[in-house]
Structure 1
Amino acid sequence: QNPSEMDALCPSPPGPSRPQRNYERIGGRTGTSFFQTLIHLLKGNIGTGLLGLPLAVKNAGLVVGPISLLVMGIIAVHCMKLLVKCSHHLSAKVNRQSLTYGEAVQYGMENVPWLRRHSQWGKRTVNLFLIITQLGFCCVYFVFLSDNVKQVVEAANATTFSCQMNYTNQTEILVPSFDSRLYMLCFLPFLILLVFVRNLRYLAPLSLVANVVMTASLITFVDVIIPDDVFFLTLLFYYPLFFGTAIFAFEGIGVVLPLENKMQRPQTFTLVLYLGMGIVTFLYISLGTIGYMCFGERIGGSITLNLPNCWMYQSVKLLYSFGIFITFALQFYVPAEILIPPAVARVSERWETAVDLLLRTILVIFTCALAVMIPELDLVISLVGSVSSSFLALIFPPVLEILAFHTEGVSPMVTIKNIVISLVGLIGFLTGTYIAIVEIVARNALKHKEALSSFVVQ
């Protein structure tokens, strides 16, 4: 079965001895409880994307942004529910205990006669986008770690115990240090060592600490004073950047089926999904709106980059960075378990460990190289969200429902609804990817121009 980062932290106990249908799933008596599943669902959706939402609201405007986040949250939850519904239907049809995302798409395509020959490509396509998404998250983590730690180091001499918000919207840089790319290279060996831990159950205690730290760091924001440079509406040109960042934040569709499969009482998963995603959506709208209202047009790619110079807020950056550092291993787990086992199976037993570690090293170096090439946190988030998250979260689930219930007949209204959702995802993918690439090229050109001007002056 296709892996998920949740497989390591809440592994499946041995399943029933015979295929079972309906809600007799893998978890059984030793599965996860309602509360445990809720915590895992929250963890699967709350990451660096949350901290980029104030900038997303800036790109959409203070009126359109929160409304769009609410609409996108409703659509994302609906697509998650569709995925679970289709998985139940298809697993009963093929007499399987459970299905992964890729297998659901594969069996859905087998349900349509003229697609049956190509059904394996459905699974491969989902795997490809899972790999792109998770490695994209890893690239974002490199940029996030370098930007935040760099800012803490450069402002260390000016950091005080006074945490009064001055609304200059950026931590003052007093002692310029290395380029952020060098910070990424400093993190590289430590992240390589981290992913050498193949059984992530050993990281479970650190993951719990990371969850607590990341949650605690979100409650440190202060009073809201709306600056003069807050815009209630913004240019339509920047809306695709909002879409990419927002859909990146709703990153948890990949953990929905593994969590549902491992519950003690999977029939309660719908309540877990609605409750958990309701909390997530409320948190996204609140932090995105309040963050933009606090810092205005100078909001950074991560709201942590705007916090003032005091030790409490600098510790918040370091604590959240620690949480992201540990979470890197969880995000890396999915592409590693898809790509590495087939390669290891081709070598002799004495070389298996060496090849496994070598491939893990190469993958981490690859993600670091991509981050070094595009060290712009906000644009990397928007690009990853537009390219891959839009397919997994918005395009595939509605199409899967049409395929899964093809033989039973799908009503015209359901078909129209699914086509509309998929078109929204496709348009967001095309426009978001284009605008993100245009902005990346423009910023790189501006940096080269500034560097050249500085060199000429010297």
Structure 2
Amino acid sequence: MVCAAGAALYTMLQLVQCYERVHCGYGEMGRRLYGRWMERVVMLSIVVSQLGFSCAGAIFVATNMRDLFNAVTGCAHRMPLWFWVVVQMAVLAPLCLIRHIKGLSGIALLADVFIVAGLVYVWSVDVATIGRLGLSYTRNFNPDSYALFLGTAAYTFEGYALILPIIDSMRHPEKFPLALALVMALCGAIAVSIGGLSYAAFGDSTQANVLLNMPSKTPATLAVQLLYSLAILFTMPLMLFPVIRILEQALFPRRSGKRNPAVKAQKNVFRTALLALVIAVSVAGVDRLDRLVAVIGGSACVPLSFVYPPLFHLRAVAATSRERLRDALVAGAGIAASAYVTYGAMSRWGVSEPPYDFCDVV
């Protein structure tokens, strides 16, 4: 995970160097350096990754809400997991109709507060569990699911579509590399500590959604599950926002609904249909959260992270044969990793492992 964070930081800085030479967005950068086909490939990867993030978020929320509902009702009225995926449409549909990302900023800030509270709770439970019961049985290396892990690592540190807009909006863009390094170090530390401590505490029973390993029915666990679920639910419209913008520009070129009610209605129908597609895919992968994350990581996040940036750097920045060779090797390694992770995740797709449900134990 540390190596993945370091490699992601390296290619992010490569993208920053390219931006200094070719002052434009990620997709347009691909068009200027390689042609329109590269722009389409980059935009497709962004669309797939953001849609995948939304699907994974919907499944995460569904597992938490099911566990929360069963704990409160004492398993008296058990609902299938797919129900908790579909019911999210009631909240997400109105939010996805918001036209400007600024309208979602307050919700996103509140979601961040909930996420921090959840992280602190998981840390405290992990440490308390290890202190009370000692270390659980752990394996240092699991070859059967290593591809899933690599895909999850790429998924964890993928945020390339946002790098260039952030730089463009900064008052002092020259400070971005240092800020980026600090943020990546912080994210890496959180990922390693949460994953490592949780696995040390719960061993082979560790769930892909670690909140399901927290003490059942305690007020603290129920509150964290509710707040964290709301946090992910409220950030899903932000995940879909870039996809909506990209696809609307392709489907409704130079057509605005600001003064045309018919166009506005068509865009509303499109946004609702896109959300329905996300929910449908989430239902299909509801028992396979770890594999869904790995498929997204391998097919979209790895290319965005470790293939396109070195290829762009090769064409826009690299001045010596050594730099060009290095960029070619990094891009080749990224292509190999993408194929390995995607194949490994798809080969395990048929293995259904429903998340832990304490009703089955009680």
TM-score normalised over the length of structure 2? 0.90
Within 5 Å, give how 1:264-343 maps onto structure 2. Answer: 264-309=171-216, 310-343=218-251
Match of 2:268 in 1: 357
Once the two structures are superposed, residues 267-300 of structure 1 have per-residue CA deviations (whole angstroms, 9 ceiling, x without a partner) of 1111111111111111111111111111111111
2:164 matched to 1:257? Answer: yes
Amino acid across the alignment from 2:55: C
Of 315, 318, 329, the match for 1:420 = 329
Shift of 1:332: 0.5
Once the two structures are superposed, residues 403-451 of structure 1 have per-residue CA deviations (whole angstroms, 9 ceiling, x without a partner) of 1136xx3332x2333233223322221121112112212328x9xxxxx
**Residues 206 and 213 in structure 2, CA contact (< 8 A), matched pair in contact too:** yes
Once the two structures are superposed, residues 318-368 of structure 1 have per-residue CA deviations (whole angstroms, 9 ceiling, x without a partner) of 101111111001001001001113323476934111011000001000111
Of 86, 93, 101, the match for 1:200 = 101
Amino acid across the alignment from 1:389: C
Once superposed, which parts of structure 1, at least 4 consecutive aligned residues long, lie more than 6 Å away?
Answer: none
Does the residue aligned with 1:131 lie in a helix, a strand or coil? helix
**Residues 344 and 355 in structure 1, CA contact (< 8 A), matched pair in contact too:** no
Does the residue aligned with 1:132 lie in a helix, a strand or coil? helix
2:320 matched to 1:410? Answer: yes
Q: Tell me, in whole angstroms, the C-alpha distance in 2 between the residues paired with 1:286 and 1:411.
A: 40
**Residues 196 and 357 in structure 1, CA contact (< 8 A), matched pair in contact too:** yes
**Residues 89 and 404 in structure 1, CA contact (< 8 A), matched pair in contact too:** yes
**Residues 248 and 385 in structure 1, CA contact (< 8 A), matched pair in contact too:** yes
Q: Tell me, in whole angstroms, the C-alpha distance in 1 between the residues paired with 2:188 and 2:181.
A: 10
**Residues 402 and 410 in structure 1, CA contact (< 8 A), matched pair in contact too:** no
Amino acid across the alignment from 1:288: G
**Residues 136 and 200 in structure 2, CA contact (< 8 A), matched pair in contact too:** no
Within 5 Å, give how 1:80-99 maps onto structure 2. Answer: 80-91=12-23, 99=24
Match of 1:215 in 2: 116
Q: How many residues align?
A: 343
Amino acid across the alignment from 1:422: A
The Cα RMSD (Å) is: 2.0
Does the residue aligned with 1:301 lie in a helix, a strand or coil? coil
Gaps of 5+ in 1: 1-68, 92-98, 110-118, 159-173, 447-458
The change in CA–CA distance for 1:197 and 1:350 in structure 2 (over 3 A counts) is closer
Does the residue aligned with 1:443 lie in a helix, a strand or coil? coil
Q: Tell me, in whole angstroms, the C-alpha distance in 2 between the residues paired with 1:192 and 1:359.
A: 11
Of 66, 71, 83, the match for 1:182 = 83
Amino acid across the alignment from 1:384: I
Q: Which has the larger radius of gyration?
A: 1
Does the residue aligned with 2:208 lie in a helix, a strand or coil? coil
Q: Tell me, in whole angstroms, the C-alpha distance in 1 between the residues paired with 2:348 and 2:214.
A: 25
2:48 matched to 1:123? Answer: no
Moved more, 195-204 or 327-336: 195-204
Within 5 Å, give how 1:430-441 maps onto structure 2. Answer: 430-441=339-350
Does the residue aligned with 2:348 lie in a helix, a strand or coil? helix
Q: Tell me, in whole angstroms, the C-alpha distance in 2 between the residues paired with 1:293 and 1:387.
A: 30
Does the residue aligned with 1:442 lie in a helix, a strand or coil? coil
**Residues 76 and 250 in structure 1, CA contact (< 8 A), matched pair in contact too:** yes
Q: Tell me, in whole angstroms, the C-alpha distance in 1 between the residues paired with 2:59 and 2:342.
A: 19
Does the residue aligned with 2:307 lie in a helix, a strand or coil? helix
Does the residue aligned with 1:315 lie in a helix, a strand or coil? helix
TM-score normalised over the length of structure 1? 0.71
Q: Tell me, in whole angstroms, the C-alpha distance in 1 between the residues paired with 2:152 and 2:253.
A: 38
2:142 matched to 1:142? Answer: no
Q: Tell me, in whole angstroms, the C-alpha distance in 2 between the residues paired with 1:405 and 1:263.
A: 22
Shift of 1:377: 1.4
Once the two structures are superposed, residues 58-115 of structure 1 have per-residue CA deviations (whole angstroms, 9 ceiling, x without a partner) of xxxxxxxxxxx11111100000000010111123xxxxxxx11111222222xxxxxx
Does the residue aligned with 2:215 lie in a helix, a strand or coil? coil
**Residues 26 and 161 in structure 2, CA contact (< 8 A), matched pair in contact too:** yes
Identity, in percent, stands at: 25
Gaps of 5+ in 2: 355-362
Match of 1:382 in 2: 294
Q: Tell me, in whole angstroms, the C-alpha distance in 2 between the residues paired with 1:293 and 1:427.
A: 31
Q: Tell me, in whole angstroms, the C-alpha distance in 1 between the residues paired with 2:45 and 2:78.
A: 37
Shift of 1:176: 6.5
2:101 matched to 1:101? Answer: no
